[in-house]
Structure 1
Amino acid sequence: MKKILLAVSLLALFGCDSSETNEVAKDKNTVQITQETFQGDWPFNVNTVELQCYKGGAFIEDVSTNEVYGLTGLANTIGTNGKKSSNNINGAAIWKDNPNIEGTKVSIGPIISEALKLCDE
């Protein structure tokens, strides 16, 4: 009986979810960037996004709509940033067309690199 009580107590203790803990975890693997502060060609049709890294996948979140987009194959396979489902960036209206080369998009390579750095922190 004592073992069962101990097991239940441990599950309850470790199973509890604190919003403060979630905020700390969120802050560690996210960073907000804007068109004004970004160095290079801004690749999105919105002014502000939040970079996110989850389990090695790079994501952005449109802060105005809370829509999440996977930027890499791994991100699209994972399909979530841990809290909500995500969309594939390919074909999404948020990704800007490249005005210099018809049929292409502005490179998101620098965005992906910055998002993946968050997984290392």
Structure 2
Amino acid sequence: MHHNWANTFLQITLLGVCGVGIAQAQVKCTMPNGMVITQQLSDKCPAGAVKGETPDGKSISIAPPKPPTPAPRDPFKPPPTAAETLGDRWPLTVRDVVVRCEVIPARQRLDAVTVTHRGTTYAVNGIADAQRANRGWRDIAPIWKANPEIPGTKIGIGPLIDYGRQLCR
């Protein structure tokens, strides 16, 4: 009968290494359901454990809980519209618009914010208003909400301008 001494040596070596490793890294962990588990190759209990100790009864640290993984965005769901993003601060009488920002070449940065509704583009801020004649854009007044608290005035359009200017960044 032939004996494979190399295989025996490998088994003894692995048992020796693993035996030392197990003795040094074994921990008992109590889980929330009361079940006690033994971690053979770790010196910490998993996240969620309520108690951890070494075989000789010394307390050990418990791994911190992992932060929740955010739900992936549905690739078929469109991002929120400008009207949805601004909510109660939406200053227009129409909600189905495309908001755009265009950088106007000048000595300093000028951002022209416009909205397009059913094929008509409206100038939202002063920079866009100054470009109206050259670009064929319309005045925003016809679709800008009236301020119900102060007759003859419009509600603040600043949130829409801020939203639009972010598109130029």
TM range (shorter): 0.5 to 0.7
Residues 73-111 of structure 1: per-residue CA shift (max 9 Å, x gap)? 21122238xxx621122xx22111011111111111000
Partner of 1:51: 99
Separation of aligned partners in 2, 1:53 and 1:35: 16
> Does residue 1:69 correspond to 2:122, yes or no?
yes
Offset at residue 32 of structure 1 (A): 7.4
User: Contact (CA 8 Å) 2:113, 2:125: kept in 1 or not?
Assistant: yes
Q: What letter is aligned with 2:87?
A: Q
Question: Kindly tell me: are residues 72 and 32 of structure 1, through their superposed partners in 2, closer, same or farther at Cα, counting changes over 3 Å?
Answer: farther
TM-score where L is the length of structure 1:
0.59
Is 1:113 the counterpart of 2:151? The answer is no
| 2:81 match: secondary structure | strand
1:9-57 CA distances to partner (integer Å, 9 max, x unpaired)? xxxxxxxxxxxxxxxxxxxxxx972544533232111122111001211
| Cα distance change of structure 1 residues 42 and 54 upon mapping to structure 2, 3 Å threshold | same
Structure 2 counterpart SS, 1:114: helix
Gaps of 5+ in 2: 1-78, 104-110
Q: In the alignment, residue 58 of structure 1 is paired with which amino acid? A: V
Corresponding residue SS for 1:107: coil
The structure with the greater share of residues assigned to helix is 1
Residue equivalent to 1:87 = 138
Aligned residues: 84
SS at match of 1:79: helix
SS in 1 for 2:164: helix
SS, match of residue 40 in structure 1 = helix
Equivalent of 2:145, from 86, 89, 96? 96
